[in-house]
Amino acid sequence: MKSKNKSVNNKIPKSLIKSLNPHQEAYVNLGLKNPKNGEYMLAVYHLKPGKGLNILQASCEVAAESSTGTNFKVNTETPFSREMNALVYQLDIKKNLVWIAFPWRLFDRKGNVQNILTYIVGNVLGMKEVKALKLLDIWFPSTMLEQYDGPSYTLDDMRKYLNVYDRPILGTIIKPKMGLTSSEYAEVCYDFWTGGGDFVKNDEPQANQDFCPYDKMVVYVKKAMDKAVKETGKKKIHSFNVSAADYDTMISRCEMIRNAGFESGSYAFLIDGITAGWMAVQTLRRKYPGVFIHYHRASHGAYTREENPIGFSVLVLSKFARLAGASGIHTGTAGVGKMAGSPKEDVTAAHNILGFVAKGHFFEQAWGRIPEKDDDAIKLVHEDLAHHVILDDDSWRGMKKCCPIISGGLNPTLLKKFIDVMQGIDFITTMGAGCHAHPKGTRAGATALIQSCEAYIKKIDIHEYAKTHVELKEAIDFFEKKKLKQPSEKS
Ligand code: CAP
Ligand code: MG
Ligand code: MG
């Protein structure tokens, strides 16, 4: 396939190419035939050169440091090691964009995501040779995809468990973020569930604090859930934060939950994927394929905020979460809620982890092999049958979906606005203050959320619907009116 920005490459002044030293020349191939031949993972960075380099020189230095090289050509390299060089294969000088092809045999076998990130957004983010370096999009060939776990327990399984299909999964985060005792925490869960909510999550710092011992929190949540299920006749889910200082503690939290009597489907494992690390994410995915693995992305802002010149995009983070096997990851409220973010960033990420084929910022990613012709499909099935040992989870048919989890400053009055931006309902929303700040408390907050969803499904404006639904009316009065003047703000 001709590189689609052929014209861009042609516009590269010969002087730039001539400016490369032998070390840099080993990491560029602007005439790379068919980068999508299956050998390469492809990446697009926004790059501003530093240290007096031009953009092509700096790009080659990045390709070197993010694959086989360092800042000088070393005498120890071999013809084979050169085969593993990442290659700058396209450049858009006007937009400061560089495309780099990574031979994916560089990566740790058996699907290790942290290893890839250590290459492509590792040392390179600290290089003097760049003033700005942000990984904007990534493309995985299907031959590479097969090596990675992808999600196991998905939003579809959760929908089946809850028997909820025609709307988002409606959830909350217990607030205050910290400081409730285990029983107080469980009380708030009970109130949300009996108010009609489906899904409760621990907040991202919840762990084994002395005022809220983990073992007690698990036991009380189980009691609260049993009571709520009995009273409502509806299944409920709790996402427990199992992030911990070490592997054994994380696993002991998982086992504590599983031994507390929660039936399969009624609990998820939440992991602070960036601060606990990708190894924790993949450990949970591999150890507990029957559990929803909930990726909280606290501290992602250091990499992803649109104004940050150094880091990676929400799209990149979300694609790697799907590759690693997270069942869902927070993808942001596209500017509707309290966190920074835009539809271009957040909705693109959400669509890319949900769909089988989706357009990113630069690449169209198919999360599996799409047979061009019928006999390709038959060949794939035969291959699948013949090599079931590799493809026994029929992964050629496509990596399962990873669910966008939407949180951060949302409230019942913003649900429709977000659904419209998202152009769909296939997500989990978790509203913290949006429920617990409701003037009549958590249960009313949950009921207002349910009512705003009912209004959406019935295509009735919430202000109209609120005329006959008091909790929603109270939510509108509270959240839509100017935020009540805080005592300190009283002039
Ligand atoms: C939201 C939240 C979430 C952030 C995460 C919080 O609470 O629990 O962790 O929204 O952001 O602690 O702020 P509220 P993102 O619902 O009360 O805002 O989903 O963008 O990663
Ligand atoms: Mg090194
Ligand atoms: Mg939180």
- The catalytic residue among 201, 236, 296, 436 is 296
**390 has a pLDDT exceeding 60:** no
Average pLDDT (413-428) is 97
Average pLDDT (8-23) is 87
Half-sphere exposure (CA, 13 Å, Cβ side) for 255?
7
pLDDT at residue 339 in the model: 87
The residue whose CA is least distant from atom 13 of ligand 1 is 408
- Closest ligand to residue 66's CA: 2
Q: Among the listed ranges 72-81, 241-250, 422-431, which one has the minimum average pLDDT value?
A: 72-81
Tell me the pLDDT band of 1, cut-offs 50, 70 and 90. very low
Nearest to 367 by CA among 160, 151, 188, 142: 142
Tell me the pLDDT band of 486, cut-offs 50, 70 and 90. low
Residues with CB under 6 A from ligand 1: 173, 175, 177, 203-204, 297, 330, 332, 338-339, 407-409, 431-434
pLDDT at residue 385 in the model: 63
The residue whose CA is least distant from atom 11 of ligand 1 is 408
**484 has a pLDDT exceeding 70:** no
Ligand 1 atom closest to 431 (CA): 16
Nearest to 185 by CA among 232, 227, 222, 157: 222
pLDDT at residue 481 in the model: 82
CA 462 to centroid of chain Cα atoms: 30
Which residue(s) pair with 390 in the sheet?
Answer: none
pLDDT in tens, 132-172: 999 999 999 988 998 999 999 999 999 999 999 999 999 99
Q: Which H or E run contains 46?
A: strand 40-49
What percentage of the chain's residues is helix, strand, coil (to nearest 5)? 45, 15, 40
Average pLDDT (74-81) is 93
Give dist(CA 132, CA 125) in Å, integer.
8
Dump the DSSP string for 387-434. Answer: THHHHTT-GGG-PPP-EEEEESS--GGGHHHHHHHHTS--SEEE-SHH
pLDDT at residue 378 in the model: 76
CATH of domain 7-145: 3.30.70.150
Average pLDDT (102-123) is 97
pLDDT at residue 347 in the model: 96
Q: Is the dihedral of CA 456, 461, 463, 466 positive or negative?
A: negative
Nearest to 140 by CA among 132, 130, 148: 148
- Ligand 2 mean position, distance from CA 126 (Å): 12
pLDDT at residue 142 in the model: 87
Share of the chain above pLDDT 70, in %: 92
- Ligand 1 mean position, distance from CA 250 (Å): 22
What pTM, to 2 d.p., does this model score?
0.93
Average pLDDT (375-383) is 74
pLDDT at residue 375 in the model: 79
- Ligand 1 mean position, distance from CA 414 (Å): 15
- Ligand 3 mean position, distance from CA 177 (Å): 7
pLDDT in tens, 23-69: 999 999 999 999 999 999 999 999 999 989 999 999 999 999 999 99
pLDDT at residue 293 in the model: 98
Residue 28 carries which DSSP code?
B
Q: How confident is the prediction for the chain on average, in pLDDT? A: 93
- Closest ligand to residue 124's CA: 2
Give dist(CA 391, CA 488) in Å, integer.
62
Crossing angle between the packed helical segments 470-480 and 442-457, to the nearest 10 degrees:
100
Hunting for tokens 């468990």 — which residue is that?
Answer: 161
pLDDT in tens, 286-301: 999 999 999 999 999 9
Residue 265 structure tokens: 């489907």
Give dist(CA 337, CA 346) in Å, integer.
12
> 384 versus 410: which is more confidently predicted?
410
175 is catalytic: yes
pLDDT in tens, 269-323: 999 999 999 999 999 999 999 999 999 999 999 999 999 999 999 999 999 999 9
The second-level CATH assignment, the architecture, of 155-355+401-480 is Alpha-Beta Barrel (3.20)
Other C-beta atoms within 10 Å of 346: how many? 29
CA 37 to centroid of chain Cα atoms: 27
pLDDT at residue 71 in the model: 87
Give dist(CA 472, CA 195) in Å, integer.
12
Tell me the pLDDT band of 441, cut-offs 50, 70 and 90. very high
Ligand 1 atom closest to 409 (CA): 18
pLDDT at residue 487 in the model: 57
Other C-beta atoms within 10 Å of 251: how many? 16
pLDDT at residue 485 in the model: 53
- Ligand 2 mean position, distance from CA 69 (Å): 9
- The catalytic residue among 134, 175, 294, 401 is 175
Share of the chain above pLDDT 90, in %: 84
Best of 329, 331, 407 to mutate for ligand 1, by most ligand atoms within 8 A of CB? Answer: 407
Dump the DSSP string for 271-323. Answer: EETTTT-HHHHHHHHHH-TTSEEEEE-TTTHHHH-TT-SEEE-HHHHHHHHHH
Ligand 1 atom closest to 430 (CA): 16
pLDDT at residue 382 in the model: 72
Burial class of 371 by CB neighbour count within 10 A (0 to 12, 13 to 18, 19+) = middle
pLDDT at residue 340 in the model: 86
Ligand 1 atom closest to 332 (CA): 20
Average pLDDT (211-239) is 98
Domain-wise residue ranges, the chain: 7-145, 155-355+401-480
Residue 22 structure tokens: 């032998």
